[in-house]
Amino acid sequence: MLAGELYLADDPEIQREQARSVRLNHRFNTADPEAAQDRRAVLAELLGELGEDAEIRPPLHVDYGTYITVGPRTFVNFGAVMLDVAPITIGADVQMGPNVQLLTPTHPLDAEQRRAKWEAAEPITIGDNVWLGGGVIVCPGVTIGENTVVGAGAVVTRDLPAGVLAVGNPARVVREL
């Protein structure tokens, strides 16, 4: 799964991992809003790494959580979806608007393989000090360079260099920053 090779999602080991994340994700999303330390403790258990002073607002939806690394001082607004079938690495000081989606899963183009429920995934890397506007979708295998801004609603289908503004569907660089 993490190596990018085809796998079956109904594998018993994968199902156990996902059951763990469902429980922790539910605890995070339903925690008392006045209990920020409790929510942070659940996130620290759910995620692979949670940087100092990072803030993630519920609701959050993940596949496993353990394959997500969030850098220090990063802010993730409401409604994030992080499907971490492959690793998702989020740098320091990243800002994410509401309803951002980081999607690592892929599916075969071959109809028979899809019918047989084969899946794969490719990692996503978000560099330091990136800003993803509301509703941005980052597709499998994408790397976004540091200090880049991605406009609201953009769909990032391929790598973006450092220090640019990208907008649209598919996202395209409109200028350097």
Catalytic residue list: 107
What residues are paired with 76 via a beta bridge?
56, 96
Rounded Cα distance, 124 and 109, in Å: 21
SS3 for 165?
Answer: strand
Which has the closest alpha carbon to 64: 42, 41, 37, 86? 86
Rg (C-alpha) for the chain, rounded Å, is: 16
Rounded Cα distance, 171 and 154, in Å: 5
